[in-house]
Structure 1
Amino acid sequence: MTVHEAGGEHAGKAGRVATAHPEVRTTSAPRRPPVPPTRSVTRPTVSGWEPAYRYGVIAADVLCTVLVVVLAGAVLQARHISFEALPLLALEAVTASVILGSLRLNRAWDSRVLGQGAEEFRRLGRSLFGSVVALGLGALAAGLPDARAWAFLVGPAVALLAFPVRYALRRPLHRARSEGRCLFSVLAAGNLGTVSDLIRRTGRAPHLGWRVDAVCTVDGRAGTNATLHGVPVVGRFDEVAEQVRRGGYRIVAVTPDAYWTPRRLQQLAWDLEGTGTEMVVAPALMDFAGPRLHVTGVLGMPLLWVSEPSFTGFRRVVKATVDKVGAALLLITLSPVLLAITVAVVADTRGSVLYRQRRIGKNGVPFTMLKFRTMVTNADALGLKLKQVNEGPGVLFKMRRDPRVTAVGRALRRYSLDELPQLFNVLGGAMSLVGPRPPLPEESAGYNPVMHRLLAVKPGLTGMWHVSGRDDLSWEEAMQLDLRYVEDWSPALDAFILWKTLVAVMRGSGS
């Protein structure tokens, strides 16, 4: 049994609960109760697929590493390059061992992160970067300066192969989860509001693998009903461990409630030992995730440390550099495509090739965003007559079958090719490859103080809103995704979004 997160905020509630629950008024350190007699335990029903998937990921990483190392060695042999102090076979063995050892040390094979979120790719990238550094320093220490080039060749090559393979392994897993298989069976225990939110969130994102199958509440009821959003209420908080032993749930998700004092959480953790069930505690005072959140302990008290979001500094310089270099390379690579689209737009209807629109950028500074024209030239005037049939979220005007869109424009929109001129905005510094959606002036004028945080960074050519459904999202959901990106940005998250964007564009989804 493992506790993923524990929030120190519960400590402040202990005094308030002490009057209603006398057992928490003790001032001495709690003593662990004697081990209860052996009882029949129903093991988690989904545990069978977990080791199979984990071993499959390990095998794939080993295969990628060995394949790249052997091919790199073959290239050296073909070019008659050798290292006198170290035979090629030994060099290959050391390289593979360092890379695989770095994956193990950085917990890149932890079953908790496999198949979900950007954390899996963040750990994979950190592991491969660490192995390159270790190999380079090792070559320097061993007096093999020429071997450093080997390290900087093999490491990135393994990354180019391992990242797509990891993503490919996710696809069948996510497909199985969308069909109701390969899911973690969850028992949620908390107040009705927080448990309801958990049920809604897990229902919207089955690819994350959580399915709330049972609920425990303070009194064993969900108001006047026996279910909560269709999920049965099976008992009270003090019956959680017993329900786990009966039902074989994989995860116990403890959400905020005044009942959950540190003493009771500790007792629940003890009671779950031996069940194969993990306990996850949701912090009540914050809504942060990703690299900003760190769990530590001070004098035995579990604390969540939240670091300041990164709006400046070295990582942002790296992001700006990647933006400009990436935009320049994409413009050069896609120049034949840009030329072909230009010819198609001109041949389709009269008017300018580019559509220029005023948008709001970083720190509220306006800029002119470029797109290929996908509508007739008098689209803005016609739009005034169509406002009453607006299908878009928030203040945006959207129609699934907009009569103003040209034949070429429909094809460009389906595959997001009309957005390609925004690479010039990225190259000019007004936009980033990844970021929040660039708002219209009338949108930003209606932003509340929370939404103004979206203007703390450059808007993006793509972002969380793009890879999570785009126009299929509600206005509130799109804003929350962009806010989450601003708060939890990382280079690994950018890489993940860019990859997901490529997949979404190839499928023509959400447009």
Structure 2
Amino acid sequence: MAEAPVTGQRRPMLFGTKRSALTGALAGERPALAGEGPASAPGYRPAVSLVPAALGRKASSADWISVHINLLRVTDSLLIAGAVALGYHRSSPGLLDRTSTAAGIAASVALALIWIAALEIYKTRDPKVLGVGADEYKRVISATFRLFGFIAIASVVFSIESGATMFAVSLPVGILSLTANRWLFRRRLATEKAKGRHLSRAIVVGEPEDVRYVVQQIEKKSGPVYKILGVCLPGSRRGARLRVGEQLVPVLSSTDDIARTVRLAQADSVIIAGPLPGGNKFIRELGWRLEECSAEMVLAATLTNVAGPRIHWRPVEGLPLMHVDIPQYSGGKHILKRVVDVALAGAALTVLSPLLLLLAVIVRMDSPGPILFRQDRIGKGGQTFGMYKFRSMVVDAEERQAVLHDTNEGAGVLFKMRNDPRVTRCGRWMRKYSLDELPQLWNVVLGDMSMVGPRPPLAREVSGYERHTHRRLLIKPGLTGLWQINGRSDLSWDEAVRLDLYYVENWSIPGDLLILWRTFRAVIQPSGAY
């Protein structure tokens, strides 16, 4: 099949008619049609027949998700009961007083039941958020804080003395235990899906350029969600193959035969990757036909770097209008970010002070030169600041870089080498585990950097920026960021820029906390650090 070259830079987002945007990674093999081509063909993967699957495949997957949700419901309820019981025990002034004890028990039971109901009302166990992104945690935290906000108001209005103690004990215990429970269940879900189980069996539909991008994005993102069975392209026939990166993805049919293909493949989802022949009328009628197959339709909107919280739907007489909020680069949200930065950086400097002292001694003993390396970097608004690191290179590293220019392995305007001869002995393992970056906590306290943000660039890098890349400088650079948890030096320049721009326009406090947690995991299991 003739393949159309990639000529645009579409950046679709997935919007499901039954589930929300899902950008999980693809786990397991990408199946091809049985008898599709010779096994020796480049990119060929083991074949999977497209004959009707065993009866009950969808029911089995749905049953497993139902069991997963019910187990989550039971454990959430037990944890809430424990948190409320602990709060009651700490707040009850007289357990031997039968009247107060009976009233306290009744109030505690009511609180537990309302708390459990709040988790249901806020749809914290909706299948579309389980194991994907930070929305699951946000819903749990939002439901809990709103409930306890109501309790705090009621305690003041009705002068309930024990309410404050219940608030101080049950709230933090409940938040920590519920989020920890979700994390444990996520691990279980991720383990199952990494084995290729319980994935949504999907067919991607659209023009070759759009299909390639969607399939590649599904592959790269963490948290497996979809198993791509194949694609449907306008004017194509079954048996052809579409090259996506280093893979050959089977073409199951043309876009005129999608519904039949879905039935044969027992697909759960049809991902519309972009405009189709026939326009909106075709997509509407396709949705009607997919209802008969019990398959969901997922639409990819061609919007660049727009996250879910910035998107709002407003129906106008049957016309769904999608509103996208303009990014904000100042105001109360940024003040709160600064408060969190100072608190976290100050606490980290205090806790890590023995480690910092030990690293300083090691650097001093390893090679001649200063302990700290100060380098001018470009911060918010293009302002220059001095960024601190433990010295991990020889003292004349800057002068020797010109000699090594031809061996540069970095992406874009970056200079990187896997086996840089300028790196000291202790510098190699400090850089691997990002320990050389710890002095930047002081930069965070000073206000030059944030705990999370875009990578802090050098002046020579900024001078080589394209026009849109300068948007990285709209907020403070970060000690860590999306670049840190997605491969660091292994990232291509375009991907590093895309991640930074995405963060600049879509950051949030819960998202920052999630990035910090994933940074800890990335440091323990380093990849792309050199």
2:308 corresponds in structure 1 to: 290
Structure 1 window deviating more from structure 2 (268-277 vs 431-440): it is 268-277
Q: Distance in 2 between matches of 1:262 and 1:142?
A: 56
1:254 correspondence with 2:272: yes
Structure 1 residue 486 displacement after superposition: 1.0
Secondary structure at the residue paired with 1:391?
A: coil
Aligned to 1:114: 130
The answer (yes or no) to whether the contact 1:5–1:283 under 8 Å persists in 2 is no
**Which of 223, 228, 234 lines up with 1:218 in the alignment?**
234
Task: Say whether 1:182 aligns with 2:221.
Answer: no
Is residue 195 of structure 1 aligned with residue 211 of structure 2? yes
Question: 8 Å contact 1:295–1:302 — kept in the other structure?
Answer: yes
Paired-residue identity, %: 36
What corresponds to 2:47 in structure 1? none
- Give the residue type in structure 1 aligned to 2:371: V
Map residues 5-24 of structure 1 onto 2, 5 A cutoff. none
Question: C-alpha deviations, 1:486-511, integer Å up to 9, x for none?
Answer: 11111121111011111112223432
Counterpart selection for 2:251 from 218, 230, 233 = 233
- SS at 1:207 equivalent: coil
Report the equivalent of 2:413. 395
Q: Distance in 2 between matches of 1:398 and 1:134?
A: 53
Instruction: Report deviation, 1:77.
Output: 5.4
**Aligned: 1:344 with 2:362:** yes
Q: C-alpha separation between the residues in 1 aligned to 2:317 and 2:202? A: 31
CA RMSD between the two structures: 2.7
SS in 1 for 2:457: coil
Change in CA separation of 1:427 and 1:255 when aligned onto 2, cut-off 3 Å: same
- Secondary structure of the 2:484 match is helix
Once the two structures are superposed, the pairs formed by residues 378-393 of structure 1 within 5 Å of their partners are: 378-393=396-411
- The structural deviation recorded for 1:364 is 0.6
Tell me if the contact between 1:177 and 1:206 (Cα under 8 Å) persists in the aligned partners: no
Letter in 2 for 1:199: V
Question: Which segment is superposed worse, 113-122 or 138-147?
Answer: 138-147
1:65-464 aligned within 5 A: 65-76=80-91, 84=100, 87-205=103-221, 207-221=223-237, 225-229=240-244, 230-259=248-277, 261-464=279-482
Runs of 5+ in structure 2 lacking a partner? 1-15, 22-53
C-alpha distance in 2, partners of 1:394/1:264? 42
Q: Given the superposition, is the C-alpha separation of residues 305 and 369 from structure 1 closer, same or farther in structure 2, using an over 3 Å criterion?
A: same
Deviation string, structure 1 residues 23-63 (Cα, Å, up to 9, x no partner): xxxxxxxxxxxxxxxxx997637434322333333333223
1:101 counterpart letter in structure 2: A
> Could you tell me whether the CA contact under 8 Å between 1:46 and 1:250 is conserved in 2?
no
Query: d(CA) in 2 for partners of 1:86 and 1:195?
Result: 63
Deviation at 1:145, TM superposition (A): 4.3
Paired residues of 2:271 and 2:300 also in contact (CA < 8 A): yes
Question: TM-score if structure 2 supplies the norm length?
Answer: 0.83
Contact 1:42–1:246 (CA under 8 A) maintained in structure 2: no
Task: Please state if 1:506 is matched with 2:528.
Answer: no
Q: Distance in 1 between matches of 2:243 and 2:394?
A: 50
Give me the whole-angstrom Cα distance separating, in 1, the residues matched to 2:187 and 2:527: 16
Q: Say if 1:59 and 1:392 are closer, same or farther in 2 by CA, change over 3 A.
A: farther
Residue from 58, 65, 75 that aligns with 1:50: 65
For structure 1, the residue ranges without an aligned partner over 5 or more in a row are 7-39
Match of 1:497 in 2: 515
Cα deviations by residue, 1:172-218 (Å, 9 ceiling, x for unpaired): 43344334333211111111111111111112236241222121222
Q: What is the aligned counterpart of 2:499 among 481, 506, 511?
A: 481
Match of 2:202, SS? Answer: strand
1:139-185 deviations in whole A, cap 9, x for unaligned? 34544144034224322222222223322322343344334333211
| Aligned-partner Cα distance in 1 for 2:339–2:497 | 27
Cα 1:129–1:178, aligned 2, differ >3 Å: closer, same or farther? same
Which range is displaced more, 336-345 or 73-82? 73-82
1:331, CA displacement in angstroms? 0.9
| Counterpart Cα distance in 2 of 1:206 and 1:332 | 33
Aligned partners of 2:129 and 2:135 also within 8 Å: yes
**Shift in alpha-carbon separation, 1:258–1:244, aligned structure 2, 3 A:** closer
Amino acid paired to 1:248: Q
Residues 25-44 of structure 1: matches in 2 within 5 Å?
A: 44=58
CA deviation vs aligned residue, 1:370-415 (integer Å, no higher than 9, x gap): 0111122222233332222222222222222222222222222222
Distance 1:88 1:120, change over 3 A: same
Partner of 2:77: 62
Q: Is 116-125 or 67-76 further displaced after alignment?
A: 67-76
| DSSP-derived class of the 2:124 partner | coil
TM-score, with structure 1 as normaliser: 0.86
Instruction: Report which stretch shifted further, 208-217 or 291-300.
Output: 208-217
Change (3 A) 1:357 1:212: same
Residue 250 (structure 1) shift:
1.5
Deviates more, 1:326-335 or 1:179-188: 179-188
Kindly indicate whether the alpha-carbon contact (under 8 Å) linking 1:360 and 1:439 is maintained by their aligned counterparts in 2: yes
In the alignment, residue 436 of structure 1 is paired with which amino acid?
A: P
Distance change in 2, residues 1:49/1:432 (3 Å)? same
Give the distance between the partners of 1:358 and 1:386, measured in 2 at CA: 21
**AA in 1 matched with 2:81:** V
1-structure distance, mates of 2:518, 2:138: 15
Letter in 1 for 2:213: D
C-alpha displacement of 1:86: 6.8
Using the TM superposition, give the Cα deviation of residue 462 of structure 1 relative to its aligned residue in structure 2, in angstroms. 0.5
CA deviation string 1:249-279 (max 9, x = no partner): 1111112124253332222222222533211
> Per-residue CA shift, 1:407-439, capped at 9, x if unaligned?
222222222111111111110111000101111
